[in-house]
Amino acid sequence: MNILLVEDNLSIIKGLEYAFLKNNYNFSYKTNVKDTITYLKDNRPNLIILDVSLPDGNGFDLYENTIKLLSIPTIFLTARDCEDDIVKGLNIGAEDYITKPFSSKELLARVNKILMRFQKKNIIKIDNITFDIDKMILYKDGQKVDLTSLELKLINLLFTNVDKVVTRSMILDKIWEWTGNDVDDHTITVYFKRIREKVGDNLITTIKGIGYRVDEK
């Protein structure tokens, strides 16, 4: 299991690194918003521990603008014990909230509980298609489908928003974020045509003029 800590306090970083590695977790950390966004373009941790106060921004915005779209379970970590902050963190979708100072054992217990619940959601099967979100592998009739890196990211975007419409504007923004390429609506249509040629026509529903959706039937 891969844990990402977003925190700029070195003593907390070192303490949690020791605790998680000792408990057989893969542990990574970032100290600011910018590096976290860059990291998440190519990496998908199983859980994020996120400090609210960061040198170049705040954890609430980072969560809402980036992490939430990736559907990565998140625990807010902060020195703030204001009730309004706790309520805000939970209302925007975080799994849990822990205030400093804290016990590493307590944090580990919360992490274990959340991961046990989410493990059941990381492999999604729809008809003859199975997508392993952790491994970023899609199978059709039990056989791995050869998809490009961008096609896999588009599939992941749909499967992490299953039963929800992913708008064309969101897809345009994500392609720009992933590749730096400014593409248009026609290019998106071509990408999804290629994906359908590989996975079949029944998986992805086009919502005309709006976007695309994968339904968990």
Same domain for 170 and 137, yes or no, is yes
Of 67, 100, 119, the residue at which a domain comes to its end is: 119
Same domain for 54 and 69, yes or no, is yes
Q: Is the pLDDT of residue 103 over 80?
A: yes
Same domain for 47 and 144, yes or no, is no
Same domain for 79 and 155, yes or no, is no
Lowest mean pLDDT among 24-33, 80-89, 154-163: 80-89
Let me know if 114 is exposed, middle or buried by CB neighbors in 10 A (0-12, 13-18, 19+): middle
Burial string for 25-57 (b: 16+ CB within 10 Å, else e) reads bebebbbebeebbebbeeebbbbbbbbbebeee
Same domain for 109 and 9, yes or no, is yes
How many structural domains are present in the chain?
Answer: 2
pLDDT per position as a tens digit, 115-169: 877 765 678 889 899 998 878 999 999 899 999 999 999 999 999 888 889 999 9
In this predicted structure, what is the pLDDT of residue 149? 93
Q: Is the pLDDT of residue 191 over 90?
A: yes
Same domain for 57 and 23, yes or no, is yes
Q: Peptide bond preceding 101: is omega within 30 degrees of 0, i.e. cis?
A: yes
Rounded to two decimals, the pTM is 0.57
Pairwise CA distance, residues 137 & 172, whole Å? 23
Q: What is the domain extent for residue 92? A: 2-119
Q: Report DSSP state, residue 74.
A: E
Q: Is the pLDDT of residue 80 over 70?
A: no
CATH number at residue 27: 3.40.50.2300
Same domain for 102 and 173, yes or no, is no
Chain center to CA of 202: 25
**Average pLDDT taken over every residue of the chain:** 90
Same domain for 92 and 131, yes or no, is no
Lowest mean pLDDT among 82-86, 171-175, 206-210: 82-86
Let me know if 133 is exposed, middle or buried by CB neighbors in 10 A (0-12, 13-18, 19+): buried
CA dihedral 168, 172, 173, 175 (to 10 degrees): 130
Strands (E), the chain: 2-6, 26-30, 47-51, 53-54, 57-58, 74-78, 96-99, 123-126, 129-132, 137-140, 143-144, 166-167, 204-207, 211-214
Of 104, 119, 134, the residue at which a domain comes to its end is: 119
More confident residue, 20 or 89: 20
